[in-house]
Amino acid sequence: MSYVWTTALTINYLAALGVVVSVLRRRKEPGSMVAWVFAAMLFPFLGPLAYWLFSADRVVWSARRRRRRVARIVHLIRERVERHTGVHRSDDALPADLRNIERMARHLARFPATPGNDVRVYDEANETYAAIEEALRTAQRHIHLEYYIWNADDTGRQFRDLLIEKARQGVEVRLLLDSVGCFGLSRRFLAPLRAAGAEVAWFMPLRPTSRRWSLHLRNHRKIVVVDGAVAFTGSQNIGDEYRGRLARLSPWYDTHLRVSGPAALFLQEVFVEDWYFATRRELSDDAYFPAPTEQGSSWVQILPTGPDQPVNTLEQVVFATAAAATHTLRIATPYFVPHAALRTALTHACYRGVEVDIVVPTRTDAPLALWAGRSFYEEIVSAGAGVYEFDHGVLHSKTFTIDDRWCMIGSANMDARSFRLNFEISALIYDEQVARGLSDSIQIHCARSRRITLDGLRSTSLPQKLLEGGARLFSPLV
């Protein structure tokens, strides 16, 4: 027995030493380095195993592999998109400060802002689903959907059956699902869809025997594109819980976007790239990229982000917009675990006299993220920011506004996972009316929430402080 224990301990120490060497060799963010070393030393076997499953090295391998695989399809479709959207059209119509944000986002993520879009924002699940269903029913040529979570419940079956109906009518239907988010979705559930002629693919299937797979590298995007003309994106997945049908998760609040006009083609391009990565099947024909017509007056810029990009695009854009705010900065997010750069941007905005409001939910499926986020409250509240905890349901919206002139709606949370690990999608909207409406919505949530005060933070019990401090150690990983 002693021999077995000695062997096991030796293996554990060697594995932990391997983690330390790997972490030091990477020379990444100090916080992340310390967290991984701490995990490897504190949790025998589990720490090294977690590093092997979730480490950034594995993420980088997979991300670089993805970039190489989609490079060819990107070149094939870029000319078509640019020709149809007037990508070289002058952005001088935007104010100077917003023009700088647009140019930076374009440089980092390749996509420009385009005018002529009709934008509709939904913050009620049934309205969102009704709008998506209406668009799907009007499809004549193709339907493309990409989701992180699609549940096998009444809502999931409702949309599956509608896709079956459209596929039988001769409409091309393609559904791309994340293999972790949809882990419980059975082949039996999807079989009728495939039998009707629809194509279903999985993003990064879980294959531990493969040298380059990643449990961490997930597709968190929510995209629907109909005939290349109408598109949806935002924070809402497909399932009963997202429309408040589960008592413990009711009511549920999401924010979703419908866009028609030139910007829809850029959401189409994101889907086509992801589809090619998952299937190696090209969708570069002109039929998928029809010439758009002006549908409205909104400037919209699609921002795809992920670990395959050479720089942290989402972090750069959020930092720049926070730094550009002059009057108001409002954030609604289900997970608020701000890294150092974001905390600096928020506190500096407060020092400049900007009214900063952040609202997060207390009902969450990730308590570690909630506890870690609370450990950062005092720094931000001390600077003058308003931090609110919403306890009247699940607030799952991921929205960001500055000065009632610019806003961002998408799938990204304010945490390390969305900033550095997930493939996310956001829409940057340069429209005062839309931004003002979104800002008002965030303020309504704030008014129904409990405001965090310095006195309350300083009277937190010692066990709670220890819990939050312990969670903070792992904030680079959550």
Active site residue ranges? 220, 222, 227, 396, 398, 403
Q: Which of 202, 223, 204, 220 is nearest to 212 (CA)?
A: 204
Q: What share of the chain is helix, strand, coil (3-state, %, to 5)?
A: 50, 20, 30
Q: Which of 293, 273, 294 is nearest to 425 (CA)?
A: 273
Q: For residues 159, 407, 272 and 55, what is the CA-based torsion angle, rounded to 10 degrees?
A: -100
Burial class (CB in 10 A: 0-12, 13-18, 19+), 60: middle
| Partners of residue 451 on adjacent β-strands | 388
Euclidean distance between CA atoms 472 and 377, whole angstroms? 12
Angle (nearest 5°) at CA 235 between 232 and 239: 90
Phi and psi (nearest 5°) for 221?
Answer: -75, 150
| Partners of residue 201 on adjacent β-strands | 176
Query: E-strand spans in 40-139?
Result: 113-122
Euclidean distance between CA atoms 286 and 187, whole angstroms? 32
Residue type, 116: G
Euclidean distance between CA atoms 361 and 388, whole angstroms? 8
Other Cβ atoms less than 10 A from the Cβ of 172: the count is 18
Residue type, 390: F
Cβ neighbors of 353 (< 8 A, separation 6 or more) are none
What totals of helices (H) and strands (E) does the chain contain, helices first?
17, 17
Q: Look at residue 475 and give its three-state secondary structure.
A: coil
Q: Look at residue 463 and give its three-state secondary structure.
A: helix
